Amino acid sequence: MNAIPRPEHPRPQFERSDWVNLNGSWTYRFDHGRSGVEAGWQGARGYESAIRVPFCPESALSGVACTDFIAGLWYHRRITVPEHWQGRDVLLHFGAVDYECEAYVDGISAGVHIGGTVSFAFDITALVRPGATHDLVVRAYDDTRGGAQPGGKQSHRLRSHGCHYTRTTGIWQTVWLEAVPPCGLEAVHIVPDLDGSRFLVAPSFRRGRPGLRFRAILKDAGKPVATAEGPAAPAAALSVPVPDPVPWAPGSPHLYDLELQVLDGDAVVDRVDSYAGLRKVHIEGNRVFLNNRRLYQRLVLDQGFYPDGIWTAPSDEALRRDIELSLAAGFNGARLHQKVFEERFHSWADRLGYLTWAESSSWGGNPDHIPYARNFLSEWAEILRRDRNHPSIIAWTPFNETRAFANRLQHARTHIDAYNLCKALDPTRPVNDASGYVHSRTDLWTVHNYEQDPAKLAAILEPGEKGVWRNFPDVEPAYTGQPYLVDEYGGTKWNPADMDRGPESWGYGNTPRSIEEVHARIEGLTGALLRYPHISGYCYTQLTDVEQEQNGIYAYDRSEKFDMARIRTVFSRRPDWSEI
């Protein structure tokens, strides 16, 4: 085990050389009454118990393993800012903290962030001195059952049940310091233009200064192949040509490196290393196209839970391994379900040629509840900005299975606001506004059906006089010919090694009586979808078992449950009309 857990750089698409990983042993204390600020805990120089960051206190890897509800907790560690960072800004980064976070340096607030799944940073330059050591305190408050915050599949009961699992509270991704020039890059939006054989690179900067220049150097196999340069002005996009372009695609995930520079005359005052994939996603009629070829999506539902880390992968290799397991099972991608996956997962998907639909952790509140909608939309915008440069992401899914509502108008309004956010921040990808259930405005028409009899499923999905089958046709707009995907099906329960859990064991439909029956059912259900030309893809539930839910292709510990050669044959099939 590494002395520093998760030691790798957390942002492979926006990497500077000067950074310090703050993972490892911190001290902590619970704040069940949320009275810590009043009690002056922000000025602490240590707490009584130890915790291993970045693992949440519910997890075994944290060393705490407290699975009761945690209303609040405080963290402490000492930080030393490298002396050679003099003259640069110091940023304190958090990969994610669930749900409300405030950081203090020597008792002084450095900032507050609300939202449990996305990355953020506080500028602590004014609070620290290079070469000096300071007390860093982090406060995290969480209200899983309050109905105002998105929480995904975190259980609202004391224990896990059905498809709801152990909660995550507080810090659950890497914490780190970074040295940044005052006029350095804040972010960059990289837009691939396959048809135009170029990348559009739109920067934003921490602070402006006249006379600075911005340069993008495109590299292929480590060698520069193109350069573009212009004024260092916000959103002043550079057009970077791609000679002899090689598209990014499953099976051929070609990536270009990008060296991004801020120049003061001939001097490079900031450098960020990034990368990009040249690919295109668009819709024609009821088909999704990737790189102008008809795509059949053979996805698997991936919830991103780990037995020892809960929401946090125990290692970078574990992130890669999950993708490799999915590819080995015959899938060409995943619907990332009710969790915002960390940036390194997306980076592995980019490098391994793995298609994904990125989704929020929308469960936990109702879209027609105004406080929830306010919190959701703010965090969703942050998610889009953080992850939109990854070529592996080919669709956005703001919501999952939204159906119960007290105010139908407000419910639809929140869905449409989320859809419009996607289009404003990233017009290059299709949007699945609400997976499976009540749609309001969507580019992809998705349905969920867990019928376990292949013949009955085929009969349900056969288009009839009323058109295609829909989950809730009475409370949503008419289907207008969008690509139609069954983005949840299957869910066949099978884990003979753990059947003694009785009623706690959970899956869809009746439990098969033998492994042969499981194989036959998976083959039959998938064949029922492949027979219909109006279906543009599917998502099988699911990649792994999760706690008491036992319908994974693999067990929770990632061991094999089935004859993987047969499984791969099933999920590798695609219809004749598909070009990819």
474 pLDDT higher than 60: yes
496 pLDDT higher than 80: no
412 pLDDT higher than 70: yes
Distances (CA, A) of 340 to 263, 276, 492, 525: 35, 20, 25, 29
Q: What is the mean pLDDT of residues 51-60?
A: 98
| Percentage with pLDDT > 90 across the chain | 93
Looking at residue 262, what is its pLDDT?
Answer: 98
CATH of domain 24-173: 2.60.120.260
Tens-place pLDDT, residues 376-401: 999 999 999 999 999 999 999 999 99
- The distance from CA 503 to its chain's CA centroid, rounded to whole angstroms, is 31
- With b for 16 or more beta-carbon neighbours within 10 A and e for fewer, the 86-114 pattern comes to eebbbbbbbbbbbbbbbbbbeeeebeebb
- With b for 16 or more beta-carbon neighbours within 10 A and e for fewer, the 5-27 pattern comes to bbeebbbbbbebeebebbbbebb
Q: At CB < 8 A and 24+ separation, what contacts does 203-207 make?
A: 203/232, 203/234, 203/235, 203/236, 203/238, 203/260, 204/234, 204/235, 205/232, 205/234, 205/262, 206/89, 206/180, 206/181, 206/182, 207/182, 207/183
109 pLDDT higher than 90: yes
Tens-place pLDDT, residues 121-166: 999 999 999 999 999 999 999 999 999 999 999 999 999 999 999 9
User: What are the φ and ψ backbone dihedral angles of 442, each rounded to 5 degrees?
Assistant: -150, 150
Answer yes or no: are the C-beta atoms of 69 and 155 closer than 8 Å: no
Query: pLDDT confidence of 437, banded at 50, 70, 90?
Result: confident
190 DSSP β-pair partners: 201
The pLDDT mean for the chain works out to: 96
Tens-place pLDDT, residues 536-579: 999 999 999 999 999 999 999 999 999 999 999 999 999 999 99
Q: How far apart are CA 292 and CA 150, in angstroms?
A: 36
Tens-place pLDDT, residues 454-467: 999 999 999 999 99
509 pLDDT higher than 90: no
Q: How far apart are CA 274 and CA 192, in angstroms?
A: 14
Q: How far apart are CA 340 and CA 380, in angstroms?
A: 10
Answer yes or no: are the C-beta atoms of 296 and 580 closer than 8 Å: yes
- Could you tell me the residue ranges of all domains in the chain? 24-173, 185-276, 292-354+429-572
User: What are the φ and ψ backbone dihedral angles of 361, each rounded to 5 degrees?
Assistant: -95, 70
Q: How far apart are CA 138 and CA 398, in angstroms?
A: 29
Query: pLDDT confidence of 498, banded at 50, 70, 90?
Result: low
Q: What is the mean pLDDT of residues 72-82?
A: 98
Q: What is the mean pLDDT of residues 58-87?
A: 98
CB-count exposure of residue 527 (10 Å: 0-12, 13-18, 19+): middle
Q: How far apart are CA 523 and CA 570, in angstroms?
A: 6
Q: How far apart are CA 43 and CA 32, in angstroms?
A: 18
Residue from 349, 264, 333 nearest 299 by CA = 333
502 pLDDT higher than 70: no
530 pLDDT higher than 80: yes
Looking at residue 245, what is its pLDDT?
Answer: 98
Looking at residue 2, what is its pLDDT?
Answer: 55
Tens-place pLDDT, residues 323-354: 999 999 999 999 999 999 999 999 999 999 99
CATH class for the domain made up of 185-276 = mainly beta
Compute the Cα dihedral for 554, 558, 560, 565 and give only its sign.
Answer: positive
468 pLDDT higher than 60: yes
Across the beta sheet with 238-241, the strand order is 185-193, 198-205, 238-241
Q: Which two tokens stand for residue 319?
A: 């992130």
Per-residue DSSP letter, 147 = S
Q: How far apart are CA 532 and CA 541, in angstroms?
A: 20
**H helical segments located in 451-514:** 454-461
Domain 292-354+429-572 has CATH 3.30.70.60: no
Residue from 118, 112, 280, 121 nearest 192 by CA = 280
93 DSSP β-pair partners: 121, 176
Tens-place pLDDT, residues 194-217: 999 999 999 999 998 899 999 999
Q: How far apart are CA 539 and CA 302, in angstroms?
A: 10
